[in-house]
Structure 1
Amino acid sequence: MTTESDLKPRYVGQSMKRREDPQLITGRGTYLDDIKLPAMLHVALVRSPYAHAQITAIDARRALNRRGVVAVFTGQDMLDINPLPCAWQAGRVTNHVNTPRALAVDTVRHVGEPVAMVLAEDRYVARDAADMVDVSYEPLPAVVDARDAIQPGAPQLHANAPNNIVMEWEAGDRAKTDAAFAQAEVVVAEPIINQRLIPTPMETRGTVARYDAATGEFTVWMTSQAPHVMRLLLTAFVFGIPETKLRCISPHIGGGFGQKIFCYNDMAFTMWAARKLGRPVKFVEERSENYRASTHGRDHITDAELCGRRDGTITGLRVKTHANLGAYLSTIAPGIPTTLYGRIITGVYAIPAAYCHVTGVYTNTAMVDAYRGAGRPEASYLIERMVDRFAAEIGMDPAEVRRKNFIQPDQFPYENGLGLLPYDSGNYAPALDKALEMVGYADFRALQAEARTQGRYVGLGISSYVEICGVAPSAWIGLAGEGWGAGLFESANVRVHLTGKVVVTTGSLPHGQGLETTFAQIVADELGVPYADVEIEWGDTQGTPFGYGTYGSRSLTVGGTAIKKSLDKIKAKAKRLAAHMLEANADDIEFADGKAFVRGAPAQAKTLAEIALQASVAYSLPEGMEPFLDETSYYDPPNCTFPFGTHIGIVEVDPETGHVDLQRYIAVDDCGNLINPLVVEGQIHGGIVQGIAQALYEQAIYDTNGQLLTGTLLDYAIPTAAMAPHIETAHTITPSPVNPLGVKGAGEAGTIGAAQCVMNAIIDALAPLGVKHMQMPATPERVWKAIHKEL
């Protein structure tokens, strides 16, 4: 006899191929640029060639005389709408908030800032006409480095932000940390630069806006990871109209990596122009526009100090970071270098005293906001490099230093003293042990010693990381002063139609994570229906319950749990209706394998399809029961989740050329219970490659005048498949107690663990040459200079 307690999952835990992939890899998906509406106008932007300048005049007469051009608008035309909002302002500090307008009005503050928009019947006509708009500028001095920007006499970007300082923020116990350093036997200190990166999603960003004058309603298609949030921000803060007057739709968006979370000026100016002209308006970025004007990531300059005893015990960590936030504040920019970085700098280690101070800074560069991992890669890189420096200083094996300082299993839930929510669960040593076993650690060290006698420089790098993901608890993110303008719960609606088919609508939405597959696996197992009978709907604010979207590895932990909560309600209602149909007591009903039956009498079961039909026709329902199996849940978790793992990389460095050959990469990750191991593998692989890219290749570079020197794919070095090694993966499983699925996030784990793994390996390889530290990316030139002491 099958009962609820002994039912084994048919789909959860299985490595099933992603159901959404066939349409995406055969070109049958619907992306933003595929949307074509009758009478639609196309936008081309006139962008500033200067990083800092006053706009003295704009002459659009030549452009307006171009055949096919319908209108040209400037920032002065759009003063009836507000600047874009900043929703996360790093609470408990004074923020000097400056956000961009739809189009610049008097001053431009970074190269590529839009100053005028041309609307034409054809995108190519619009592009040509944009070159015919004459803009006169009075150039101003620019500053691009966060440390330079706060110096006396530096160019000032905003009148309300003296010395270009956005905020001063701190976490931890400064006095206790200073005391730990005063008493320490060993202190190591390093400048650590986490360089600026450009997210580079497959599809650039864009917006299509339509306005209905009869109802006063907008419909906007957008490349957004969070359409419900955009609806709120655009209506309540930018246009000042009821939220009900805007429908936001996110089609397939071609990857996000965080860049597509935020509220952008094209969302505002396309809506404004659609209302003004009474015609749909479309804007799609060119790649060079995406590089110059959409958000970048990282860009931290840090002075880091770590102290401890010669027996390997770490006793203190002291961090001072200058975070470059660009010319304006993006939607959640201040929260990245504060809450998501400064509160987790101690990583997997039980460090008794830690203090972090962050200075957020305006510069004449593109806005900086979340990029895959969002603050946690920066924190993990910092602590893992410093642990390696400490191990080298005391002459102790880096694996043993880690093991000695790990937070122990019996210490969870663990509070790290930096104001973070308690780490939910963890067992770090098994992940380290498995990675060391996979790489053959003892044998490698022997081979390394032999290679050095031959003049070969081989190195091994270890990275033990932990991340905070599934960021959602509203009571913490809001009432605790973190400064986010709303809660971060997630939603799901589940309907079982009268034929037994199941439709789920979710506030989460996929852009490469495989959510349609994993969500359907959960639903099929919980309800005992065929996997093919489950449909997942997402991305339309009109058809889905309010949700905060997909980012921060929250889709499964928060969104998936919201689905689970709705499924529990569906099953409870189905059991009650089955009891009525079977003339039994509801307390005696079991639900298993898609059937409801009296405990001990499974032969008399009612299938879910039979129950759904009865609920739909409503001929005979229990007293007080509403028809239809249709339930909605809003899930606000009590805590975040904290995935972890250990990554190991092996490199060989050519001292003659500085070339780094990444020969092996081992990743042992713990994401809690795995719904679909194949999907998890894909997410980890992609994240690792992005972390490797930061270590070896990628860097957004501005010259001193604020010109982006890496503004095309010819100049910005994203890796090819040939640059990535075979990635060897394994898992430990430590379920999260936070949610009923026992899951943790996986989408950002690879990026959070990877960069320092590679850099630690390079430094290990070059240790005989006296190299103790170097900055990313480890290009051949930079490695050669480090070897030859020319940095």
Structure 2
Amino acid sequence: MPKDGGIGASSKRREDVRFLTGAGNYTDDINIRGQAHVFFLRSDVAHGTLNKVDTTAAEGMPGVVRVFTGADFEAVGGMPCGWQITDKHGQPMLEPKHPVLAHGKVRHVGEPIAAVVADTLEQARDAAEAIELDISELPAVVDMKAAVTDASPKVHDDLPSNLCYDWGFVEENKAATDEAFEKAAHVTTLELVNNRLVANPMEPRVAVGDYSRATDDHTLYTTSQNPHVIRLLMGAFVLGIPEHKLRVVAPDVGGGFGTKIFHYQEEAFCTFAAKACNRPVKWTSSRSEAFMSDAHGRDHVTKIELALDADNNFTALRTETFANMGAYLSTFAPSIPTWLHGTLMAGNYKTPLVYVNVKAVFTNTVPVDAYRGAGRPEATFQLERVIDKAALELKVDPVELRRQNFITEFPYATPVAVEYDTGDYHATMDKVLEMSDRAGFEARRKESEARGKLRGFGINCFIEACGIAPSNLVGQLGARAGLYESATVRVNATGGLVVMTGSHSHGQGHETSFAQVVADMIGIDENMVEIVHGDTANTPMGMGTYGSRSIAVGGSAMVRATEKIIAKAKKIASHLLEASEGDIELKDGAFSVAGTDKSVAWGDVTLAAYVPHNYPLEDIEPGLEETAFYDPSNFTYPAGAYTCEVEVDPQTGVVTIERFASADDFGNVINPMIVEGQVHGGIAQGIGQALLENCAYDENGQLLTASYMDYTMPRADDLPDMTHYIVDHSCQTPCTHNPLGVKGCGEAGAIGSPPTVINAIVDALRSGGHDVTHIDMPATPARVWAAMQG
């Protein structure tokens, strides 16, 4: 393989050619002859009894094909939840029905009540405005703690309360953890909020349903991170369509960040309506709709306590979290504050006892589910903020307090039921301190003070769990699907390969990095490998892309399938070379006999597979195509250390990020350029959460941040100058349980950056004499200024 290609090379992203030239094929680009358009009439109240939906006037308006209400969907299933949580008493979570269109009640602003299908979108919108609604508004519940009191209105009348589950983990640790706190030399307590976020991918969601009466086949084109899962959930649990009669296609997708993992009502509706109307039906979300219909992220309120002995060793950790589920359970929502959050509460530290309690609560708000990082940012923020506060109380260096408590021996079994296979937290700490020039910080602080600014330095260490697995374990934990991945490798007669994967790319560069892996294994040019994804009709069943699982799980499936290809090709080569199969070696795209100069090119072997004139037919059949499914034996555990320097204007509270450095351990790296881009993007999103973004409701459940006029997204000038925005991934401890030794990189930046920024802000304020030990996100100028006023 040439030095400028294969694993470890910064190959340019091949998919960018079409993206940068406007040749991408996004779902909204798909228009089917004869298609109609749908407009959803959504609730403008958060909680109410739906007395009447009068569609008479709308049905008679120009261009209207049909008007649908909740009554049309009484015979179909509700939107399914893909994960069941069992509480600390052994009881299953409360699981209300989630209708395709509201029926009987509305439970959050933005819930679809009726849908108008018309020849044009304008006609559908006009007709929707003619629908008469009679809604008796009910008191809304928004505050999570208030929601679980006896006096609170119930979001779902058929449930005993608004408490979805009360989860304790590890329950058998609770008594010992409580005892450790009683004996502790020092206890640090912190109450904090992990603010609700809107994902805001560049491309809003789109769904196009099509139906063929001739074959009884359904097709859904959708903006999805996992088309096979959408097909499974919609076919089996909502509409009752056999999977072989349902095709789901996710073409180019303009960003997801988790919010496009889930099965949404609009997808089910367009699929259903295409058959009911006997014509294609298309819906494209407006940005305003996205704010009140896309699943939101985060939204935790937590009390965390850290116990230490007289030598400042961590002895126990205890948390109590209220986690907002919103009005309904989104696809993976119950797993986020539990198994993707509680299992990471040990962090990078050898804390012997950990107990995590999570109360998941229904409120009259948009459902909450996975958002970039999904549970791990919440855990990291809690842990790294309480450690910084402990360092303040103990008057010790926050870096040294962390170092003292680092895990140093691997594999390491944590008290929260996971086992880290590899890591070197001292190495990433050393690297980030070197990159950030901590030794020169005091001089920079004095220079800032001379200009009337307060300067702070923040440090953070984190670990994450990626490539969630294995299926038999997550099944025991409540997952209602397997979490394997798949790949089919088809070799053409002339030597080129088509790799069909169940993973899906929505910005990660799979078409480049996956090709690098397969090409490197064979020793051929990357351009000979084509990656196909996103269409259930021509890819094997896979679980899609989320949780930084693509290369660790999807890439490993490709490796296994390619290994099968190579094994069969060696049989053919041994026949052509008249040598023992055990003596055949593959290197640089040629098969050779070990210890001789006899060889045959890759293309000659592949041609023989399809033109079997000289072929061992008695041993193997013609052709060269293999499929593999890969189910990991464990999570992967990327880890990192981040630093941030901020300046705070004491007159206004404005925070400016001056420097940022990240040192990550991602195991082996396939494409350094792509990894760097993923980390940069994640850090930008984390900075957005720390400083700018906040999804807010008023006491009546009205969404106050329903547009970019009120919801602040990070821009380029919110980030530090690129010369002071340094990312590094040279500290590599390869994963021991997947064939590539990779760990995943897509979420690290969003996990590590929020506490780093807040730690820096607190340090800056304290340098100015302000007795501040914590500030909640987002650290807006108003919030920072108020903190300085005491």
Please classify the TM superposition score into its range, dividing by the shorter chain length: over 0.9
Tell me which moved more, 224-233 or 240-249.
240-249
Q: How does 1:297-446 map to 2 (within 5 A)?
A: 297-408=297-408, 410=409, 412-419=410-417, 421-445=418-442
Match of 1:615 in 2: 609
Q: How does 1:565-580 map to 2 (within 5 A)?
A: 565-580=560-575
Whole-angstrom CA distance in 2 between matches of 1:399 and 1:99: 48
Tell me which moved more, 567-576 or 446-455.
446-455
Post-superposition offset of 1:443? 2.4
Post-superposition offset of 1:312? 2.4
Whole-angstrom CA distance in 2 between matches of 1:416 and 1:787: 39
Match of 2:146 in 1: 148
Partner of 1:581, secondary structure, is: helix
User: 2:419 is aligned with what amino acid?
Assistant: P
From 573, 578, 597, give the equivalent of 2:592.
Answer: 597
Q: Which structure 1 residue ranges, 5 or more long, are not aligned?
A: none
Match of 2:645 in 1: 650
User: 1:96 is aligned with what amino acid?
Assistant: L
Whole-angstrom CA distance in 1 between matches of 2:60 and 2:277: 18
| Number of aligned residues | 778
Match of 1:96 in 2: 94
Whole-angstrom CA distance in 2 between matches of 1:788 and 1:753: 29
Asked whether 1:288 is paired with 2:291, we answer no
Q: TM-score, normalised by structure 2?
A: 0.97
User: 2:643 is aligned with what amino acid?
Assistant: I
Whole-angstrom CA distance in 1 between matches of 2:732 and 2:36: 52
Whole-angstrom CA distance in 2 between matches of 1:671 and 1:621: 43
Match of 1:194 in 2: 194
Post-superposition offset of 1:451? 5.6
User: 1:465 is aligned with what amino acid?
Assistant: F
User: 1:620 is aligned with what amino acid?
Assistant: N
Query: Residues 452 and 649 of structure 2 are in contact (CA less than 8 Å); yes or no, is this contact kept in structure 1?
Result: no
Match of 1:554 in 2: 549
Post-superposition offset of 1:722? 1.4
From 476, 489, 494, give the equivalent of 1:494.
Answer: 489
Match of 1:109 in 2: 107
Whole-angstrom CA distance in 2 between matches of 1:436 and 1:195: 29
Partner of 1:163, secondary structure, is: coil
Whole-angstrom CA distance in 2 between matches of 1:226 and 1:472: 17
Partner of 2:555, secondary structure, is: helix
Q: Which structure 2 residue ranges, 5 or more long, are not aligned?
A: none
User: 1:511 is aligned with what amino acid?
Assistant: H
Query: Residues 651 and 662 of structure 1 are in contact (CA less than 8 Å); yes or no, is this contact kept in structure 2?
Result: yes
Q: Summarize deviations over 1:278-335 as a string: whole Å, max 9, x none.
A: 1111111111111011100000000111110343211111000000000000001000
Post-superposition offset of 1:160? 4.1
Asked whether 1:785 is paired with 2:780, we answer no
Q: Summarize deviations over 1:86-114 as a string: whole Å, max 9, x none.
A: 01122454210024211001100000100
Whole-angstrom CA distance in 2 between matches of 1:450 and 1:265: 55
Q: Summarize deviations over 1:248-273 as a string: whole Å, max 9, x none.
A: 10011110000000011011111111
Match of 1:758 in 2: 757
Q: Summarize deviations over 1:56-89 as a string: whole Å, max 9, x none.
A: 1111222222211111110101112110110112
User: 1:109 is aligned with what amino acid?
Assistant: R
Q: TM-score, normalised by structure 1?
A: 0.97
Query: Residues 487 and 540 of structure 2 are in contact (CA less than 8 Å); yes or no, is this contact kept in structure 1?
Result: yes
Q: How does 1:23-34 map to 2 (within 5 A)?
A: 23-34=18-29
Whole-angstrom CA distance in 2 between matches of 1:424 and 1:240: 42
Match of 1:741 in 2: 740
Match of 1:680 in 2: 675
User: 1:618 is aligned with what amino acid?
Assistant: P
Post-superposition offset of 1:624? 2.8
Whole-angstrom CA distance in 2 between matches of 1:10 and 1:122: 49
Query: Residues 310 and 394 of structure 1 are in contact (CA less than 8 Å); yes or no, is this contact kept in structure 2?
Result: no
User: 2:109 is aligned with what amino acid?
Assistant: V
Query: Residues 88 and 485 of structure 1 are in contact (CA less than 8 Å); yes or no, is this contact kept in structure 2?
Result: yes
Q: Summarize deviations over 1:687-734 as a string: whole Å, max 9, x none.
A: 000000000000000000000000011111011111111321112111
Match of 2:157 in 1: 159
Post-superposition offset of 1:416? 1.3
Whole-angstrom CA distance in 1 between matches of 2:560 and 2:631: 11
From 157, 169, 172, give the equivalent of 1:171.
Answer: 169
Partner of 2:326, secondary structure, is: coil
Query: Residues 5 and 526 of structure 2 are in contact (CA less than 8 Å); yes or no, is this contact kept in structure 1?
Result: no
Tell me which moved more, 775-784 or 612-621.
612-621
User: 2:762 is aligned with what amino acid?
Assistant: I
Tell me which moved more, 17-26 or 780-789.
17-26
Percent pairwise identity: 48
Query: Residues 302 and 320 of structure 2 are in contact (CA less than 8 Å); yes or no, is this contact kept in structure 1?
Result: yes
Q: How does 1:524-543 map to 2 (within 5 A)?
A: 524-543=519-538
Post-superposition offset of 1:452? 5.8
CA RMSD after TM alignment? 1.4
Q: Summarize deviations over 1:503-559 as a string: whole Å, max 9, x none.
A: 100000100001110001111111111111111000010100110000000000000
Q: Summarize deviations over 1:341-367 as a string: whole Å, max 9, x none.
A: 011112111101110000000000000
Whole-angstrom CA distance in 1 between matches of 2:442 and 2:458: 12
From 504, 509, 514, give the equivalent of 1:514.
Answer: 509
Partner of 2:765, secondary structure, is: helix
Query: Residues 60 and 133 of structure 1 are in contact (CA less than 8 Å); yes or no, is this contact kept in structure 2?
Result: yes
Post-superposition offset of 1:445? 3.6
Partner of 1:197, secondary structure, is: coil
From 10, 13, 20, give the equivalent of 1:15.
Answer: 10
Match of 2:775 in 1: 774
Tell me which moved more, 121-130 or 30-39.
121-130
